Structure formats: structure tokens, C-alpha cells
Amino acid sequence: MLNKFVGDTSLIITSEYIVIKDNLSYEEIPAHILDRQVRKLRTKEVALVMVQWRNQFVEENTWESKEHMKNKLSMCSTAHVEEEKRELTKDVHRLARLGVQLMDSNEGGIVVMNGTK
């Protein structure tokens, strides 16, 4: 007898975050720099950073050249910021629909207040 398949929804990647090209490829976008180190070769030192890629699992983190990542981040930095702004705006609207109010605090943080009194 066959059992019903129960899929893992955490493995689904929404396509609004990934721009798929005509040849069915996409460009990886770095999400976080996790670690830094300097590798000493025979004649020179190479600065490396461990990169966590967006839309990838933790096991997919890679060591990349610091110079390469500087160039990559400078090319896609505005797209990354615009995407983060859209996500933040969506989250604020969701909270507003739930009746949650966000206010600036005196210390430079955010105070979260429940809208119901």
C-alpha cells in the first residue's frame, strides 16, 4: 500500500526572490559574510571570506576571495538593498494588519506596541 507523500515546505524557494535568466540559470546573491581568514601561500597571502549564499542551505557556504566578493557586492548591492526594503515593507504591513504598532525609542531602537488596549 502506498503512503501519502508529505512534502517539506521549507525546501520550496519562491521565484520572486530569484531572477531566472533565459538559459534557466540564476546568479547567486551573497547573504552574509560568516568568517574571515588569510591563507598564506608560498609567495603571497590571500584574504578569504566564508559566504552564506541567499536561497542556499548552510552546507552550501563557500570560501571566496575577499577581492572577488568586494567586486560582486558592489555590482549587486543596490538590487540587494531594494529587495530588503521590499521585504521589510511587507513585514511592516503584515504587522499593521495585526494591530501591532512600531515606534522609535529614545535609544535609537524600535518599541513594539500591541494595538489593542
Number of folded domains that form the chain: 1
Residue 2 lies in a domain: no
Residue 15 lies in a domain: yes
Rounded alpha-carbon distances, angstroms, from residue 82 to 18, 61, 76, 87, 107: 14, 24, 10, 9, 26
Q: What count of other Cβ atoms lies within 10 Å of the Cβ of residue 49?
A: 20
Query: pTM for this one?
Result: 0.47
Residue 70 lies in a domain: yes
Residue 98 lies in a domain: yes
Residue 51 lies in a domain: yes
Residue 3 lies in a domain: no
Residue 66 lies in a domain: yes
Q: In terms of residue numbers, what domain contains 88?
A: 9-114
The string of pLDDT tens digits covering residues 11-35 is 666 655 667 788 888 878 788 888 9
